[in-house]
Every structure is written in C-alpha cells, then in structure tokens.
Structure 1
Amino acid sequence: MIHLEHVTKAFASGKGIFDVSFSVEPGMVFGFIGPNGAGKSTALRQLMGLIAADSGHATIGGFDCWVETKEVKRLVGYLPGEISLPGDFTGDHILQLMQQLHGGDRKRQADLLERFPFDPKTKVRKMSKGTKQKLALVGCFMKDAPVYLLDEPTSGLDPLMQERFLTWLEEERRLGKAILMSSHHFPEMEKSCERAALIKDGRIIVESDIHELIRSSRKQYTVEFGLAAQAEQFEIQVGATQKQQRVSFLTSDQLTLNQVLRLLTAYDIRSIQTAADDLEHVFLHYYGEGDES
C-alpha cells in the first residue's frame, strides 16, 4: 500500500533522506523511529507529495506520490508533526473546513469527539497543546481513509488520551488500514507497531519485526562481586565498565553471554541483573553505545 524505493532528497544544509526504502501493507502499523532532524518528517512529506525526491520512487495505493498527488491525497489521512491552525477559528470551524476539504463521516466524527473530548467552541489560540493535538487527531481520522501518515501523533497528549489513541489505532489496523507512524514515545510504539525502521542522519540503519528488533539488540548486564579486586579482574577480562564492586557489560550474542557466564563461575558473585528488553534500549543501542561498534 505504501512503498518507498531508494528515495533520496538532499537539502542544501546536507540533511535529508538518503536511499530510503520500506513498505507498509494493509492491516499494518509501521513505526518510524529516530531523533529530531533524522529525516522522519521529510519521508512523510515525500509521501504526501509536498516535496519532490531527487531520486527514487514513492507510491501509495499504486499512485505516484509526486505525479499523482491528488489521487494519493484522496487515499490518505495525514497528521503533520507541526500543527499550525488559525488562532481565531474555533474547533468546530476547523472541523467543518476539514470536512469540506477532505470529507468525513458525521458519525465517525462524533465517535472521535467522544474518545478525544474537548470544547469545540473554544478558539484555537486559547487551546492547550494537548487540546490542539486532539483537534488534529479528530480532523485526521474523521476521514475514513485506507492509509494514515502520522507524525508524532501523541505529542502533548496525557496518558489517558495516549491509551485511547492506541485503542483507536488497533481498531483501525484490524479494519485493514495501512498506518505509518513516527514517534519518540517508545512504549506506544512497542504496543502498536508490527514492524519498525530506525533512521539516523537520513539513512535507515535497521528495519525489522519490532519484537525481533528488541530481542536481537545488545543487552546490558550488571554483576556485583563480593570483592572489588575480583571486579577489577573481570573488567579487564571482558572489557566492561567497573564501578566499585559492580561491573556492567553489553552483549547481543547468546554464545558471548554463555562464555561470560562461564568466566563468572570462578568468582564470588553477589548478584546479576539485566536491563529490561524494550524499544528504548534498542534506540540507545543504535544511537548511543551502538556508535562505538
């Protein structure tokens, strides 16, 4: 449904996206993860036909995202990362305009307003960031589209609204929608995404099933020794980081871990702890410690 093939768009600043390829099929939520400036929004704007690629090809529903922009926009509900709305318009006025421009079902809109409640009579300039985000979500999803492009969709939402958003997203996925979502909120990506791509400096560095991504990332283990001298000796053996009687090390390979555990049998060990397996640790692996490997 959504396809990018070797798409490159370079800006004068040197930033952009470079040789980006991935696909999102119907009934899939695909996570797009990376720090600010990594290229996530550029890729989404590319798909919306807002900027032209230097090379490569992007399609949605078989339509070229640059040449057949009108056809693409009929298929897509789009939530931009930076939402700019007229300050003197009320929420009602904004939703009416969106319905005139993009269409939308009244019953669906009412359902969304019940899930993401706010006072539609309030002017935009008086709305909090969270209220503006709820307005934008309602405006995006009231169009019953087969494809959604969501750039930081839960930005500004409180935990209750985040959970409601995830519930709504799962309902849409079950209806066969193709959903591409960028976010920095790791727990929501873990809960909602089937696959994910990590982008750094405009290039995709890994794409995988999200559970496989988490399983295969390097994990941190912390060992507490009975004696500081033993901790120092073990640190030298495995190239770890020592703090008093505690030594921390990283591994993603089961064989390596087994070798380390065999070494530990020669020591007086008080405890062994491991960091939780989650998407945040995957992120740190590729964007933090991963830079060293």
Structure 2
Amino acid sequence: MIHLEHVTKAFASGKGIFDVSFSVEPGMVFGFIGPNGAGKSTALRQLMGLIAADSGQATIGGFDCWVETKEVKRLVGYLPGEISLPGDFTGDHVLQLMQQLHGGDRKRQADLLERFPFDPKTKVRKMSKGTKQKLALVGCFMKDAPVYLLDEPTSGLDPLMQERFLTWLEEERRLGKAILMSSHHFPEMEKSCDRAALIKDGRIIVESDIHELIRSSRKQYTVEFGLAAQAEQFAIQVGATQKQQRVSFLTSDQLTLNQVLRLLTAYDIRSIQTATDDLEHVFLHYYGEGDES
C-alpha cells in the first residue's frame, strides 16, 4: 500500500534522505526510528506529496505521491510532527474545518473524542501541548482512511492517553489499515509495530521484523565474581568495565555468549544478570551512545 523505491531528496545543508526503500502492507504498523534530523519527517513529506524527490518513486495505493497527490491525499490520514493550528479557532472549529476539507465520519469522531477527551470550546492558543495533540489525533483519525502517516503521534500525551492511542492503533491495524509511524518513544514502538526501519543520516541502516530486530541486538550482561581479582582478570579478557567484583559487558559478533560462558567456567561466579532486551538497546547498538539525538 505504501512504497518508497530508492527515493533520494538532498537539501543544500547536506541533509535529506538517500536511496530509501521500504513498503508497508495493509494490516501492518511500520515503525520509522531515528534521531532528530535523520530524515524521518522528510520521508513522510515525500509520501504526502509536499516535496518532490530528486530520484526514485514514492507511491500510495499505486498512485505517485508527487504526480497524483490529490488521489494520494484522499487515501491518507496525516498527522504532522509539528502541530500548527489557528490560535483563535476553538477545537470545534478546527474539527469542522477538517471535516469540510477531508471528510470524516461523525460517529467515528464521537468515539475518538470519548477516547481522547478535551474541551472543544477552548481556543487553540489556550490549549496545552497534550490537548493540541489530542485534537490533532481526532482530526487525523476521524477520516476513516486506509492509510495513516503519523509523525511522533504521542508527543505531549500523558501515559493514559498513550495507552489509549496504542489500543486505537491496534484496532485500526486489525481493520487492515496500513500505518507508518515515526517515534522516539521506544516502548510504544515495541508494543505496536510489526516491522521497523532505523534511519541514520538519511539512510536506512537496518529494516526487520520488530522482534527479530530486538533479538539481533547486542545483549548486556553483568557478572558478579567471588573475588575482585577474578573480576579484574575477566574484564581484561573481554575488554569490559569492572567495578569491584562486578563486570558489565555486551555480547557481539566478536564476543558471543558461548565464548563468555567458556571463559567463566574458570571462575567463582556469584550471579549473572542480563538487561531486558528492548528497542532502546537496539537503537544504541546501531547509533552509538555518543551520537547526537
């Protein structure tokens, strides 16, 4: 349903996206992960027909996103990363305008307002960031579209609203919607996405099933030794950090768990702990803790 094929869009600053390809099929939530400036929003704007690619092609539902942008926009519900709404409009006025521009089901709108409640009589300029986000979510999803492009959809939402959003997203996925979502919120990506792509400096560095992506990451372990001298010796062997009788290290292609276990048989071991696998560890694995975010 959503296809990017070798899309490149370069800006004068050197930023942009380069040779980006991926697909999102109906009934799939696809996560797009990367630090600020990595190219996530640029890719979504390509799909919305807001900017033209230098090369490659972006299509939704078989329509070219730049050449046939009107047809594409009929198929898509779009939530931009930066919510910009008329400050003197009330929530009701914004939703009425969206209804006129994009259509929308009244019953669906009422359901969304019940899930993401706010005072629709309040003017936008008086709304908090979270309230503006709820307004934008209702405006996006009240259009019962087959495709949704969501740029940081839970930004500003409290934990309860985040959970309600994930529940809504799962219901939409089960209805066969194709959903592309960029986010920095790793727990929500783990819970909601079927596949994910990590983008760095405008290039996709890995794309995989979300659970395979997590399983393939480096794992962190902490071993407690009976003696500090043993901990020091083991730390030297694996090139790890030592703190008294504890050594923490990451497994990798060069240091597998089997190799570590063979080394540990020579020592008095008190305990072995492993960090929970999560998407944040995957992110740090590919980007490095020293990279800017």
Q: After superposition, give the CA deviation of every residue in 1:212-246 in whole Å (9 maximum; x if it has no partner).
A: 00011001111111212111111121111222221
CA distance in 2 between counterparts of 1:18 and 1:96 reads 38
CA distance in 2 between counterparts of 1:119 and 1:147 reads 28
Aligned-residue offset at 1:190: 0.6
What runs of 5+ residues in structure 2 fail to find an aligned partner?
none
On the 8 A contact 2:46/2:65 being kept in 1, the answer is yes
Q: After superposition, give the CA deviation of every residue in 1:132-181 in whole Å (9 maximum; x if it has no partner).
A: 00000000000000000000000000111001101110110011000000
Query: Structure 1 106/3 Cα, relative in aligned 2: closer, same or farther at 3 Å?
Result: same
Aligned-residue offset at 1:264: 0.5
Give the equivalent residue in structure 2 for 1:222: 222
Query: Structure 1 290/62 Cα, relative in aligned 2: closer, same or farther at 3 Å?
Result: farther
Secondary structure at the aligned position of 1:205 is classed as strand
On the 8 A contact 2:109/2:142 being kept in 1, the answer is yes
On the 8 A contact 1:79/1:149 being kept in 2, the answer is yes
Secondary structure at the aligned position of 1:254 is classed as coil
On the 8 A contact 1:91/1:121 being kept in 2, the answer is yes
**TM (normalized to structure 2)?**
0.97
CA distance in 1 between counterparts of 2:134 and 2:198 reads 27
CA distance in 1 between counterparts of 2:263 and 2:100 reads 69
Secondary structure at the aligned position of 2:230 is classed as helix
CA distance in 2 between counterparts of 1:292 and 1:24 reads 28
**Count of matched residue pairs:** 293
Give the equivalent residue in structure 1 for 2:192: 192
Percent identical residues: 98
What runs of 5+ residues in structure 1 fail to find an aligned partner?
none
Aligned-residue offset at 1:20: 0.5
Aligned-residue offset at 1:266: 0.6
Q: After superposition, give the CA deviation of every residue in 1:6-57 in whole Å (9 maximum; x if it has no partner).
A: 1011111111111100000000000000111110000000000000111111
Give the equivalent residue in structure 1 for 2:209: 209
Q: After superposition, give the CA deviation of every residue in 1:74-96 in whole Å (9 maximum; x if it has no partner).
A: 00000000011010000000000
On the 8 A contact 2:35/2:292 being kept in 1, the answer is no
Aligned-residue offset at 1:284: 1.1
CA distance in 2 between counterparts of 1:142 and 1:170 reads 16
Query: Structure 1 55/149 Cα, relative in aligned 2: closer, same or farther at 3 Å?
Result: same
Worse overlay, 83-92 or 228-237? 228-237
CA distance in 2 between counterparts of 1:245 and 1:13 reads 49
**TM (normalized to structure 1)?**
0.97
Aligned-residue offset at 1:2: 0.1
Aligned-residue offset at 1:252: 4.1
Query: Structure 1 10/175 Cα, relative in aligned 2: closer, same or farther at 3 Å?
Result: same
On the 8 A contact 2:81/2:153 being kept in 1, the answer is yes
Q: After superposition, give the CA deviation of every residue in 1:190-213 in whole Å (9 maximum; x if it has no partner).
A: 111000000111110100000000
Secondary structure at the aligned position of 1:292 is classed as coil
